[in-house]
Amino acid sequence: MTDPSALIGDDDQDLRPAWSGVRRGPLVEGERVSVTDPKGRRHNVKLAHGAQFHSTNGLIDHDLLIGGPEGVVVPTTLGVPHIVMRPILEEYTVSMPRGATVIYPKDASYILMFTDIFPGARVLEAGAGSGGMSVSILRAIGEQGQLYSYERREDFAETAKKNVEQFFSGEHPGWSLRVGDLVSTYGGEKVDRVVLDMLAPWECVDVAHQALEPGGWLCVYVATTTQLGRTMDTIRAHEGWVEPRAVEVNVREWHAEGLAIRPGHAGRGHTGFIIHARRLADGVTAPLKRRRPAPGAYGDDYDGPRPRGVTMPETRDVDQD
Ligand SMILES: C[S@@+](CC[C@H](N)C(=O)[O-])C[C@H]1O[C@@H](n2cnc3c(N)ncnc32)[C@H](O)[C@@H]1O
């Protein structure tokens, strides 16, 4: 894969801030633009001299766009106006080729802030899936940071590699992609942050604890309530963490025109839950939670990990006296 500095040269650095995936200045052949029709439908188009964008609304010659600015409104041959812009990371994440489901931008943005992912951070991620979260993490940590991404499926790892390299126009200097199961192939690296997005993240709580520095943050993204419960109780039962916290991020778009101000009709349904926990120092165990679980929370029907201090059903009455 080509080194982006070889592609653009030192003089172009101000047109293309290093490892941002962003390009400024006139549109050039080979880059992707987002062409939006009057109904708001977005089309991802790779610019090439002599090529045309085709839709039921007519055609647009790419040569009308190359060399000009983004942010233009261009009529098709049938006179239908289209807006041309460079796609941002959010658009790239939801439109890139994928094998595994990506973490959606509303959740990825929350993860970056609340996992406190910073420039220069060392981060471990599993699984890499389609590389959606990898791109966001790499952009946040920059070239001084280090991201170790584990993916146990070779085909998904290949997709992740292509998506990350396409976004940054080259091999990001801070990225190591490892094909293998995190538990059996963990390389011993010490990190500041861990992000897990997989079917059975509770299997990786111990290795995340090994990898994290004291005070480091673990973030787990899960889709279902059963995964949520098992992960939270595994973290509690492990005892090397501060009490975990779980959230769901809901974003509601609003319509505001004149006096018609109301929630928009469009919206995304459930995507996932985000769990956060902070690692304690070696040899330190989490203090017992002072709040009692709801009656039945860990009753006869519960067969998951049991946090320390949780009373068994038959002794609960006595304990409560
Ligand atoms: C939902 S996808 C991750 C998507 C990714 N976060 C993104 O935004 O593109 C889950 C991935 O985890 C991988 N996986 C599951 N368990 C794993 C493990 N223990 N170690 C490494 N990868 C794992 C799966 O193969 C799958 O590709």
Q: Tell me, yes or no, whether 115 and 217 share the same domain.
A: yes
Of all atoms in ligand 1, which is nearest to the CA of residue 99? 27
Q: Tell me, yes or no, whether 262 and 115 share the same domain.
A: yes
pLDDT digits (tens, 9 = 90+) for 148-200: 999 999 999 999 999 999 999 999 999 999 999 999 999 999 999 999 999 99
Q: Tell me, yes or no, whether 189 and 249 share the same domain.
A: yes
Tokens linked to 129: 């899936």
* Amino acid type, 214: P
Ligand 1 centroid to 99 CA: how many Å? 10
Domain annotation covers residue 10: no
Q: Tell me, yes or no, whether 35 and 129 share the same domain.
A: no
For residues 272 and 222, is the Cβ–Cβ distance under 8 A?
Answer: yes
Q: Tell me, yes or no, whether 310 and 254 share the same domain.
A: no
Domain annotation covers residue 17: no
Single residue among 37, 61, 85 that ends a domain in this structure = 85
**How far apart, in whole angstroms, are the C-alpha atoms of residue 34 and residue 42?**
6
Domain annotation covers residue 9: no
Domain that holds residue 50: 24-85
Domain annotation covers residue 2: no
Following CA atoms 241, 243, 244, 245 in sequence, which dihedral angle do they give, to the nearest 10 degrees? -150
Spatial CB neighbours of 164, under 8 Å, sequence gap ≥ 6: 131, 134, 135, 138, 172, 175, 177
Domain annotation covers residue 3: no
> What CATH number is associated with residue 236?
3.40.50.150
> What CATH number is associated with residue 30?
3.10.330.20
Q: Tell me, yes or no, whether 199 and 213 share the same domain.
A: yes
Of all atoms in ligand 1, which is nearest to the CA of residue 108? 8
Ligand 1 centroid to 196 CA: how many Å? 8
Of all atoms in ligand 1, which is nearest to the CA of residue 185? 20
pLDDT at 296: 85
pLDDT digits (tens, 9 = 90+) for 6-64: 444 556 667 888 899 999 999 999 999 999 999 999 999 999 999 999 999 999 999 99
For residues 279 and 209, is the Cβ–Cβ distance under 8 A?
Answer: yes
Q: Tell me, yes or no, whether 140 and 156 share the same domain.
A: yes
Chain centroid to Cα 99, Å, comes to 15
Q: Is 26 left (phi over 0), alpha (psi -120 to 50) or beta?
A: beta
Domain annotation covers residue 41: yes
Q: Tell me, yes or no, whether 185 and 230 share the same domain.
A: yes
Q: Tell me, yes or no, whether 98 and 227 share the same domain.
A: yes
pLDDT digits (tens, 9 = 90+) for 216-242: 999 999 999 999 999 999 999 999 999
Spatial CB neighbours of 223, under 8 Å, sequence gap ≥ 6: 271, 272, 273
Question: Mutation test of ligand 1: which of 198, 203, 234, 271 has the most ligand atoms closer than 8 Å to its C-beta?
Answer: 198
pLDDT at 11: 61
Average confidence (pLDDT) over 67-87: 97
pLDDT digits (tens, 9 = 90+) for 245-294: 999 999 999 999 999 999 988 777 899 999 999 999 999 998 887 777 88
Single residue among 65, 85, 105 that ends a domain in this structure = 85
Q: Tell me, yes or no, whether 105 and 251 share the same domain.
A: yes
Q: Tell me, yes or no, whether 299 and 276 share the same domain.
A: no
For residues 280 and 214, is the Cβ–Cβ distance under 8 A?
Answer: yes
Ligand 1 centroid to 159 CA: how many Å? 12
| Terminal alpha carbon distance of the chain | 68
pLDDT, greater one: 315 or 233: 233
pTM beyond 0.95: no
Q: Tell me, yes or no, whether 125 and 69 share the same domain.
A: no
Single residue among 85, 100, 133 that ends a domain in this structure = 85
What is the 3 state secondary structure string of the chain? Answer: CCCHHHHHCHHHCCCCCCCCCCCCCCCCCCCEEEEECCCCCEEEEECCCCCEEEECCEEEEHHHCCCCCCCEEEECCCCCEEEEECCCHHHHHHHCCCCCCCCCHHHHHHHHHHCCCCCCCEEEEECCCCCHHHHHHHHHHCCCCEEEEEECCHHHHHHHHHHHHHHHCCCCCCEEEEECCHHHHCCCCCEEEEEEECCCHHHHHHHHHHHEEEEEEEEEEECCHHHHHHHHHHHHHHCCECCCEEECCCCCCEEEECCEEEECCCCCCCCCEEEEEEECCCCCCCCCCCCCCCCCCCCCCCCCCCCCCCCCHHHHHHHHC
For atom 18 of ligand 1, which residue has the closest CA?
181
Sheet holding 72-75: strands in order across? 42-46, 32-36, 81-85, 72-75
Task: Provide the CB-side half-sphere exposure for 4 (13 A, CA).
Answer: 22
Domain count, the chain: 3
Domain annotation covers residue 231: yes
| DSSP bridge partners of 149 | 125, 177
Domain annotation covers residue 170: yes
